[in-house]
Amino acid sequence: MPGMSNPVSKTAWYCTGVRMQDARSSNPLVGDAWAERFLDDEGRRVFERFADLEYANGANIVRHWLIDQWLEARLAAQPDRRIILVGAGFDSRALRLDGGRWIEVDEAAVIERKQAVAPASASPNPLIRIAIDFARESLADKLAPHATDAPVTVVMEGVVYYLDAAAIAVSAKTLGILFPRHELICDLQSNAFVQRWGKRIIERIAILGARWRFHPSDPVAAIEALGYERRECLSIALRAAELKRVRVPAMMIRYLLPSLRDGYRLCAFARREPTLPSP
């Protein structure tokens, strides 16, 4: 298999390693049995560099669990809901959750590894995997055959802060045109959070060649400015503390550490109806 040429793709090994670590632990939160199977030797080597990061890893697994919860609620209400994972990495939700019609988009090296371990054709839920070279190919072209007016959930987990503002704007525009009734689920980090709490993980990720690009002072407002309306936002750090996945008292985060509480959030946005120009 060719190696990962997009440095951000290597971070997919990190997230999968976190899920492997969780699944192997005595009290798993997500319990993703696929994670270990997806990791190859390169993936294991990458994850070794991150295995000791208690806070980042705790937040990462809680983020994944929270998104599981949100998707399960949507699938309970609508079992055939379309779900598109942009920058899917080694996400195994199409294989793990009940229901959904899934599309996973990522670099060819990621898609090939997933196909080798768990072919889409054997998925319990309908699953299409799409390989894209994010630097040279357009998301619009790749997703155009799947355009629909039906409700769609787009998940960009662990992705947005690696992109620059222009790339995020292009993705939002593309998604708005192809899926006018989509909601976007993504995690967002503020500049205050990155400066005060993000240094350790950012330094480790930098070893892989990837860097943080999108951390405005108010990332929720920045996404809303792209044609979205915030529906729900949760504090990932606070939930991680409440679930005891990080050793910080939840009360401390809730009352004393606002940049930690509010700086790293999981949000769901609805696409705003385009306003028609006045006659």
Ligand X SMILES: C[S@@+](CC[C@H](N)C(=O)[O-])C[C@H]1O[C@@H](n2cnc3c(N)ncnc32)[C@H](O)[C@@H]1O
Residues forming the site for ligand X (CB under 6 A): 6, 8-9, 11-12, 15, 86-91, 106-107, 110, 134, 157-159, 163, 167
* CB of 8 or CB of 237, closer to ligand X: 8
| Shortest spacing between CB 144 and ligand X, in angstroms | 16
Task: Find residue 182's DSSP bridge partners.
Answer: 152
- 73-94 b/e with 16+ CB inside 10 Å = b? ebbeeeeebbbbbbbbbbbbbb
Please, what is the minimum distance in Å from the beta carbon of residue 278 to ligand X?
A: 35
- Minimum separation from the CB atom of position 6 to ligand X (A): 5
Instruction: Pick between residue 9 and residue 57 the one whose CB is nearest to ligand X.
Output: 9
Q: Helix, strand, coil: what percent of the chain each, to 5?
A: 50, 15, 35
CB of 140 to ligand X, least distance (A): 13
Which residues, in sequence order, are CB contacts of 217 under 8 Å at separation 6+?
190, 191, 192
Residue at shortest CB range from ligand X: 89
Q: How far is the CB of 252 from ligand X (least distance, A)?
A: 27
Question: Is there a contact between 241 and 253 (Cβ–Cβ < 8 Å)?
Answer: yes
Q: Choose between 90 and 197: whose C-beta lies nearer to ligand X.
A: 90
Structure tokens at 58: 């705790």
Nearer to ligand X, 14 or 250 (CB): 14
* Comparison of 15 and 250: residue with beta carbon closer to ligand X: 15
What element of type H or E holds 206? helix 199-207
